[in-house]
Amino acid sequence: MTRVSSGTAGRRLLDDGRRARAMSWVMAVMLFLTVLAAALGLGTISAAAGLDRQLAGRLTVQLLDADDAAVARLVDRLRASPGVSAAAAVPREEMAELLRPWLGDAGLDADLPMPVMIDVDLASGSDAVASDVTSRIRSLAPAARVDRNARWLAPVRSFIVSLAWLAGGIVLLMALATSAIVLLAARAGLDTHRDTIDVLHMLGSTDVQVSRLFQRRIALDTLIGGAIGTVFALATVALIGSRVATLDSALVGGFGLDVGDWTILAALPIAFALLATLAARIAVVGALRRVL
């Protein structure tokens, strides 16, 4: 039985000219968009996790008309309470800086009445612990107002999670579109080289051997084009990341990528090449079996 060569025969079976170049450029565009979408998804997941770590286990206590001694006693009792990992009163100077956009320099006036804020970090972000500590605070200071930061940031977190799901859906759609492009390219190659394939069959080549020629060629085009698109996408992500890092915002600053995220993005061309190889094999073998 004659075994089909994967070298010259493979290059002849799928054109090396405009069709091959078009395939590579299409894959470059697909991977460029896919990597951008994946970076958005990974960044939003990181931001959501950061919000959970920073705010899910934090309470803010607001006191009106409280003297320094009463505030100090409350902070000490909170620190000794079960379920509380840390408690600290926000300095008046910091409160004045927070109010400066609205009050201007008037917020620095010592005679200006200003509520006392106490930040309470919980040992756990569970609802049970938060409710227990809230009840304890109200028993110690009935006039205190207790806000759970995660409650008023819930819409923000929900929006961030929605972005992550959207990005994941885009990546999935890109994978499906890539499979469809590979199926079309493989079937076009079969139609174009039908006579050559018939000769290979007469020489004893099997459907699997013929399909390997398509697999190798399509995998190579996908890998080359995907690598080009991924390089440009990673450069774009790095540029956007550098611009985000200059923004003085804790919320936006959470949209960061770690080493694992960059590794996932860099591995996407290989994953898409494997996907294209599998799609080409299924398309070619299936088409040859229906014809023969």
Q: Which residues on neighbouring strands pair with residue 220, listed in sequence order?
A: none
CA distance to 27, 29, 104, 257, per residue, from 177 (Å): 10, 12, 55, 26
Segments of 90-204 assigned E as strands: 116-122, 145-148
Question: Is residue 209's pLDDT more than 90?
Answer: no
| CA dist., res. 96 & res. 103, Å (int) | 8
**Percentage of the chain surpassing pLDDT 90?**
17
**Percentage of the chain surpassing pLDDT 70?**
74
pTM of the model: 0.71
Please state the domain extents for the chain. Answer: 8-52+155-291, 65-142
Identify the top-confidence range among 77-81, 225-229, 252-256: 225-229
Question: Is residue 252's pLDDT more than 70?
Answer: no
Question: Is residue 33's pLDDT more than 90?
Answer: yes
Band (pLDDT 50/70/90 cuts) for residue 120 is confident
Q: What is the pLDDT of residue 229?
A: 93
Give per-residue pLDDT as tens, 86-115: 888 888 777 777 767 666 665 555 566 677
| CA dist., res. 255 & res. 45, Å (int) | 8
Task: Give which of 149, 138, 124, 157 is closest to 63, Cα–Cα.
Answer: 138
> How big is the CA angle at 266 (ends 37 and 31), to the nearest 5 degrees?
45
Question: Is residue 20's pLDDT more than 60?
Answer: no
Q: What is the pLDDT of residue 53?
A: 66
What mean pLDDT value characterizes the chain?
78
Least confident of 16-30, 201-215, 234-248: 201-215
Question: Is residue 62's pLDDT more than 80?
Answer: yes
Largest CA distance in the chain: 99
pLDDT higher at 32 or 145: 32
Q: What is the pLDDT of residue 6?
A: 44
| CA dist., res. 125 & res. 138, Å (int) | 19
| CA dist., res. 62 & res. 85, Å (int) | 19
| CA dist., res. 213 & res. 10, Å (int) | 5
Q: What is the pLDDT of residue 169?
A: 94
Question: Is residue 251's pLDDT more than 60?
Answer: no
Question: Is 288 in contact with 207 (CB distance < 8 Å)?
Answer: yes
As given in the structure block, the two tokens for residue 256 are: 């960061």
Question: Is residue 12's pLDDT more than 60?
Answer: no
| CA dist., res. 244 & res. 210, Å (int) | 50
Torsion sign across C-alpha atoms 120, 125, 130, 133: negative
Q: What is the pLDDT of residue 9?
A: 47
Band (pLDDT 50/70/90 cuts) for residue 4 is very low
Enumerate residues 6+ apart whose C-beta is below 8 A from 230: 31, 32, 35, 265, 266, 268, 269
| CA dist., res. 36 & res. 171, Å (int) | 9
Question: Is 204 in contact with 2 (CB distance < 8 Å)?
Answer: yes
Taking residues 44-71, report their average pLDDT.
Answer: 77
Question: Is 186 in contact with 218 (CB distance < 8 Å)?
Answer: yes
Least confident of 162-171, 239-248, 270-279: 239-248
